[in-house]
């Protein structure tokens, strides 16, 4: 987790190294619980470092572990990161499909924050009116006093569109 947070704060190199060490440790002990999350963190940081192909390989591995281990609580976020990476790779159609799937899975699971993340990511790939409406609907799920970073980012995004 520390590596993920370091990466989120901009220390990509150190964050990625720590996330990779954590993934390797989980795999060396044959621990599968939370392995898709660690792989997702790694894929996300690889993408942010410009290593998109490696990130896509890692996210494919994460999807396999999700299916094999039935860790479906991680499915929406894995699909979201896959969509973001596909968008960075210039494959907008595949990115849109993955992000819409991430949203669908999150909504089906009642994971509103994950649905919001998927919708904001989708807007970056496909800035259409229906996506903006979907983001507004997702923001409405949260209390106006909510200060979660993802909700604040979505509200700011909607304000910029006015």
DSSP states along 17-67: HHHHHHHHHHHHTT--TTHHHHHHHHHHHHHHTT-HHHHHHHHHHHHHHHH
Q: C-alpha angle 55/59/64, rounded to 5°?
A: 150
Instruction: Write down the pLDDT at residue 30.
Output: 83
Instruction: Write down the pLDDT at residue 28.
Output: 81
Instruction: Write down the pLDDT at residue 106.
Output: 98
Domains of the chain: 2-161 (1.25.40.10)
Low-confidence ranges of the chain (pLDDT < 70): 1
The residues, any chain, with a CB within 8 Å of residue 15's CB and separated by 6 or more, are: 3, 4, 5, 6, 7, 8, 9, 45
Instruction: Write down the pLDDT at residue 46.
Output: 96
- N- to C-terminal Cα separation, the chain: 36
Are 38 and 49 a contacting pair, CB within 8 Å?
A: no
pTM over 0.75: yes
């Amino acid at each position: 987790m520390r590596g993920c947070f370091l990466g989120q704060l901009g220390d990509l190199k150190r964050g990625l190294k720590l996330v990779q060490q954590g993934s390797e440790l989980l795999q060396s002990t044959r621990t599968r619980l939370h392995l898709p999350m660690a792989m997702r963190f790694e894929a996300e940081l690889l993408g942010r470092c410009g290593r998109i192909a490696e990130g896509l390989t890692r996210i494919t591995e994460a999807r396999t572990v999700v299916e094999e281990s039935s860790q479906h609580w991680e499915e929406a976020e894995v699909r979201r990161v896959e969509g973001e990476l596909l968008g960075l790779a210039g494959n907008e159609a595949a990115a849109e499909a993955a992000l819409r799937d991430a949203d669908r899975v999150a909504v089906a699971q009642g994971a509103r924050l994950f649905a919001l993340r998927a919708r904001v990511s989708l807007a970056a790939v496909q800035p259409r009116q229906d996506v903006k409406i979907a983001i507004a609907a997702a923001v409405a799920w949260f209390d106006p006093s909510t200060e979660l970073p993802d909700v604040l980012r979505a509200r700011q995004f909607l304000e910029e569109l006015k």
